[in-house]
Amino acid sequence: MSNTRYEPTRTGLLLVDPYNDFLAPEGKLWPYAKEVAESVNMLAHLRSIMDAVREVGTQVFFVPHHRWEPDDYEKWRHANPSQLAAARRQSFAKDSWGGTFHDDFQPQSGDVIIKEHWAQSGFANTDLDHQLKEHGIEKIVLIGMLANTCIESTGRYGMELGYHVTLVKDATAAFSQEAMHAAHHVNGPTFAHEILNTSEFVNRLGS
């Protein structure tokens, strides 16, 4: 078993899509993720990780999804089913409560908020790669939503760009147990360098 250490100066914590619509009981998407999220105690693990990385000084990057606005996708040639569903639900609507970061996961001084991604990869059409390089980051650790979409796509893209990729499997969730299993036990091992639980990751923080 690997014993990778996560040095604060070389590690970036990527918090993906921490919106109220995903994480709050009244959120539009929480009912879809609730069963899986509660089965892994996701919210408590997200809080534990955020507290731990802030204590040691690991750089935090918020990696947010595009916030829906009227007329989004209406003239697109190839909007995908997830984007069309988001438009119908008005997921993460701009200037709405649902499109606001959850109270427990607010940016702090020194955090980096990446440009919003339109689909699933936090790298595609954003400044994430540039910001990571400018901060000297070599290892990226992904937590947040959803395991089989934005987490997987961002992690896979990051591996292709040469980053060491870690998934924290109980600090994310999906809309079904099948999707969660696929993300961490079928697809994750094909690109991630480490797939850990929260306690394993926290125990490896530091120099």
Q: If we measure between CA atoms, which residue out of 140, 127, 8 comes closest to residue 64?
A: 127
Cβ burial, residue 158 (10 Å; 0-12/13-18/19+): buried
**Segments making up each domain of the chain, as ranges:** 11-203
Cis amide leading into 132 (omega within 30):
no
**Cα–Cα distance for residue pair 11/1, rounded to 1 Å:** 20
Q: Between 3.40.50.850, 3.40.50.300, 3.40.1160.10, 3.40.50.2000, what CATH number should domain 11-203 receive?
A: 3.40.50.850
Question: What is the chain's pLDDT, residue by residue, as a tens digit (207 residues)?
Answer: 477 899 999 999 999 999 999 999 999 999 999 999 999 999 999 999 999 999 999 999 999 999 988 887 788 899 888 887 877 888 899 999 999 999 999 999 999 999 999 999 999 999 999 999 999 999 999 999 999 999 999 999 999 999 999 999 999 999 999 999 999 999 999 999 999 999 999 999 976
Q: If we measure between CA atoms, which residue out of 156, 169, 185, 158 comes closest to residue 40?
A: 169
For residue 18 the two structure tokens come to: 């921490």
